[in-house]
């Protein structure tokens, strides 16, 4: 029943907020007819609506007084608690194209992601000018938020791609580490301390973007049936961790620090091509990214196989940190045999607005 504040925070909610159970992630493209002013109006209307939604309130009348009027709110969240709803809004590179006269406000590091080795991206799941990440402990609350915000884009934007996430695949303070659809604990070693957030997530001295960050979203398919027939020793070698406890193969307990140098019989105990050996800060000049992903499923694919995977969402104050990590994973990760990156986008996430203001209002001042 918790309600997460929207106004007067330093950072937008939904980033450091302890991961809720469900997520609806949607991107939009601005239409050819969109103008600087219609973008401004959209961000203002979205902000006002989000401030209501996170309190568990409708965004307007569900049952208007005039019988021939259309309801403003669609109604399906009535009677449901706020469920810790957060709605995080991101701005894609296209917002800063010349046509909106915003080029001088472009967040310094916001560029479309380059092609990364191993990518098998589908155009219909790639890019976007705006993103909405709605997370809540009730799936209907998250869906209601996105549905009602999507209704408000009218002729300014159109929906692009969407992922319905369930079962968080990262943990916050006090949360037990959840599991991804491969059955492994996900989020054991993640950004968590104030110092790490300051160093690796939030933008500092970044003008109007100070307190903001960059969001990378990747839709990653898993070949689940094949994975489920892989022997356990191989599964554990791929991640470099045990399945049940989630311990690094060099240790015994989940939170033991992995020892990437440890060898038996001349071979590394944690394979150097394992997911954690390639991704760990120890082997990446100390770099960390905040991972805040969700499991997803789209049912069955056209071959009757489970269509599911990880909606990977990361936050970092330098998108290159993601690019460098993924370039390495994309080439060498043992996990690649069982996954495929099919969707990808990057967004700048502005700081939270003050009361009475709206997200990214600074763009128009
Ligand atoms: C760690 C799963 C994709 C970066 C882990 C762990 C698991 C996991 C089980 C170990 C537990 C933990 O410390 O959280 C997966 C799966 C993926 C995936 C199933 C795809 C379907 C990615 C991607 C990146 C990434 C795309 C970044 C480009 C990391 C990092 C760690 C990690 C930085 C922590 C390593 C450490 O410090 O020990 N992942 N991951 N992962 N993953 Fe992934």
Q: What is the pLDDT of residue 351?
A: 98
Mutate to test the pocket of ligand 1, among 186, 250, 255, 311 (most ligand atoms within 8 A of CB): 186
Q: Under the phi-then-psi rule, with left for phi > 0, alpha for psi from -120 to 50, and beta for the rest, what region is 341?
A: beta
In the chain, domain spans: 22-62+72-364
Structure tokens at 110: 């916001």
- Residue 186 Cβ inside 6 Å of ligand 1? The answer reads yes
- Residue 334 Cβ inside 6 Å of ligand 1? The answer reads no
How far, in Å, is the centroid of ligand 1 from the Cα of 218? Answer: 13
Atom of ligand 1 nearest to the CA of 241: 10
Mutate to test the pocket of ligand 1, among 279, 280, 283, 332 (most ligand atoms within 8 A of CB): 279
How far, in Å, is the centroid of ligand 1 from the Cα of 324? Answer: 14
Tell me which residue has its CA closest to atom 28 in ligand 1: 326
Q: What is the pLDDT of residue 173?
A: 82
- The answer for residues whose C-beta is within 8 angstroms of residue 113's C-beta and 6 or more apart is 216, 319, 322, 323, 344, 345, 346
Q: How many CA atoms lie within 13 A of 79 on its CB side?
A: 2
- Residue 126 Cβ inside 6 Å of ligand 1? The answer reads no
d(CA 117, CA 230): 25
Question: 33 in helix, strand or coil?
Answer: coil
Q: Is the ipTM of this complex over 0.85?
A: yes
- Residue 221 Cβ inside 6 Å of ligand 1? The answer reads no
Tens place of pLDDT per residue across the chain (365 aa): 799 999 999 999 999 999 999 999 999 999 999 999 999 999 999 999 999 999 999 999 999 999 999 999 999 999 999 999 999 999 999 999 889 999 999 999 999 999 999 999 999 999 999 999 999 999 999 999 999 999 999 999 999 999 999 988 888 888 899 999 999 999 999 999 999 999 999 999 999 999 999 999 999 999 999 999 999 999 999 999 999 999 999 999 999 999 999 999 999 999 999 999 999 999 999 999 999 999 999 999 999 999 999 999 999 999 999 999 999 999 999 999 999 999 999 999 999 999 999 999 999 99
Please state at what angle helix 36-53 crosses helix 139-151, rounded to 10 degrees: 150
User: 306, 190 in Cβ contact below 8 A?
Assistant: no
- 348: β partners: 91, 214
d(CA 165, CA 153): 22
- Residue 321 Cβ inside 6 Å of ligand 1? The answer reads no
Atom of ligand 1 nearest to the CA of 170: 14
- Residue 188 Cβ inside 6 Å of ligand 1? The answer reads yes
Q: What is the pLDDT of residue 175?
A: 87
- State the distance between the two ends of the chain, measured CA to CA, in whole angstroms: 37
Nearest to 87 by CA among 146, 3, 43, 140: 146
Tell me which residue has its CA closest to atom 29 in ligand 1: 279
Q: What is the pLDDT of residue 168?
A: 87
Tell me which residue has its CA closest to atom 43 in ligand 1: 275
What is the value of pTM for the model shown?
A: 0.97
Q: What is the pLDDT of residue 171?
A: 86
- Residue 200 Cβ inside 6 Å of ligand 1? The answer reads no
- Residue 311 Cβ inside 6 Å of ligand 1? The answer reads no
d(CA 356, CA 334): 50
Q: What is the pLDDT of residue 27?
A: 98
Residue 205 — φ and ψ, nearest 5°? 45, 45
Atom of ligand 1 nearest to the CA of 258: 38
């Amino acid at each position: 029943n918790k309600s997460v504040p929207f106004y007067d925070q330093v950072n937008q909610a939904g980033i450091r907020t302890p991961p809720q159970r469900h997520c609806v992630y949607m991107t939009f493209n601005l239409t050819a007819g969109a103008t600087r002013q219609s973008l401004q109006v959209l961000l203002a209307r979205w902000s006002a609506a989000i401030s209501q939604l996170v309190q568990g309130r409708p965004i307007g009348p569900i049952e208007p007084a005039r019988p021939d009027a259309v309801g403003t709110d669609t109604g399906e969240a009535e009677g449901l608690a706020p469920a810790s709803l957060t709605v995080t809004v991101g701005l894609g590179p296209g917002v800063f194209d010349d046509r909106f006269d915003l080029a001088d406000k472009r967040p310094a590091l916001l560029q479309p992601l380059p092609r990364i080795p191993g990518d098998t991206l589908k155009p219909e799941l790639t890019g976007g000018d705006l993103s909405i990440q709605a997370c809540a402990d009730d799936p209907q609350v998250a869906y209601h938020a996105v549905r009602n915000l999507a209704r408000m884009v009218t002729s300014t934007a159109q929906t692009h791609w969407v992922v319905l996430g369930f079962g968080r695949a990262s943990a916050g303070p006090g949360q037990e580490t959840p599991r991804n659809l491969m059955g492994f604990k996900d989020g054991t070693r993640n950004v968590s301390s104030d110092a790490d957030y300051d160093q690796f997530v939030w933008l500092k001295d970044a003008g109007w973007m100070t307190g903001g960050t960059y969001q990378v979203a990747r839709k990653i398919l898993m070949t689940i049936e094949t994975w489920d027939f892989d022997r356990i020793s191989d599964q554990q070698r791929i991640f470099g961790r045990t399945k049940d406890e989630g311990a690094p193969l060099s240790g015994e307990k989940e939170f033991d620090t992995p020892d990437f140098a440890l060898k038996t019989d001349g071979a590394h105990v944690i394979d150097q091509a394992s997911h954690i050996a390639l991704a760990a800060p120890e082997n990446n000049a100390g770099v960390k990214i905040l991972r805040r992903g969700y499991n997803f499923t789209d049912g069955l694919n056209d071959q009757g196989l489970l269509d599911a995977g990880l909606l990977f969402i990361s936050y970092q104050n330098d998108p290159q940190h993601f690019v460098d990590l993924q370039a390495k994973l994309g080439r060498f990760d043992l996990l690649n045999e069982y996954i495929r990156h099919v969707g990808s986008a990057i967004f700048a996430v502005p700081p939270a607005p003050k009361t009475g203001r709206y997200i990214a209002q600074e763009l128009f001042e």
